[in-house]
Amino acid sequence: MRTLLRLLLGGALTFGALGAVALPASAAVSGPCTGSATFTPGPDGTASVAITHRNAGDRTFVIARRSSVAWQAAVPGPPGTYAGSVAVDLPAPFGSLAVKEWSGTSSDPEDEGTQRFDVPGIVPGGTTLTLDVAHRDANGTCAGSATLQIEGNALGSPATWVSLVITVVTGAGLVALAWPLFGGRS
């Protein structure tokens, strides 16, 4: 649980600032903010995956399970009083999880940072997460979202294999129980 929280916090830091300003480096950006995030290393040992408010479009960015993300965010002028939040939309049926909220007063229109994260092995590869960010200050309101996919495939996770075994055992039990009802011999 602690590692998953670190992943979510890493995502929050990727797409939001911890103080003065915040905006996701992602698709569907609205408002006067700008942002970027660079995941190092990228998936399969590639050098990095860079996301900016300009290049994201509607694509999904594949990220490594263990990575460092350097993020930057800016608004066009001093933010004054600000507030914002980052939430992660988890796969069904889990809903949304608030990851980070911030508020305060600042005259600095830019913020940056680096966060390391480690996705636990129990989370299947290929899992898609959507990060939603909102930031409000004297410059206006910014909102955005980014779709990230964890590298790998579902068969690389122990949870997948456990689920498959439980499904097969449960299915075999149901067949054994139903066999006499449909004319089978016991």
Of the two residues 57 and 165, the one the predictor is more confident about is: 165
Distances (CA, A) of 174 to 177, 178, 182: 5, 6, 12
Q: So where are the chain's domains? A: 2-152, 156-186
- Torsion angle in degrees (nearest 10) through CA of 96, 102, 103, 108: -130
Give me the pLDDT at residue 146, please. 81
How are beta strands 140-150 and 60-63 bridged, if at all?
parallel
Q: Where are the beta strands (DSSP E) in 3-162?
A: 27-30, 34-40, 49-52, 60-63, 66-74, 80-89, 96-106, 110-118, 128-137, 140-150
Average pLDDT of the segment spanning 21-35: 59
Give me the pLDDT at residue 31, please. 85
Query: Per the structure block, which two tokens stand in for 8?
Result: 């979510």
Summary mean pLDDT of the chain: 75
Q: Per-residue confidence at 182, pLDDT binned at 50, 70, 90?
A: confident
- pLDDT for residue 105 is more than 90: yes
- pLDDT for residue 108 is more than 50: yes
Highest mean pLDDT among 85-89, 90-94, 102-106, 179-183: 102-106
Give me the pLDDT at residue 185, please. 65
φ/ψ bin of 28: left (φ > 0), alpha (ψ from -120 to 50), beta (otherwise):
left
Of the two residues 114 and 51, the one the predictor is more confident about is: 114
- pLDDT for residue 138 is more than 80: yes
CATH code of the domain made up of 2-152:
2.70.50
CA 172 – CA 2 distance, rounded (Å): 36
Residue type (1 letter), 100: K
Average pLDDT of the segment spanning 68-75: 84
- pLDDT for residue 104 is more than 90: yes
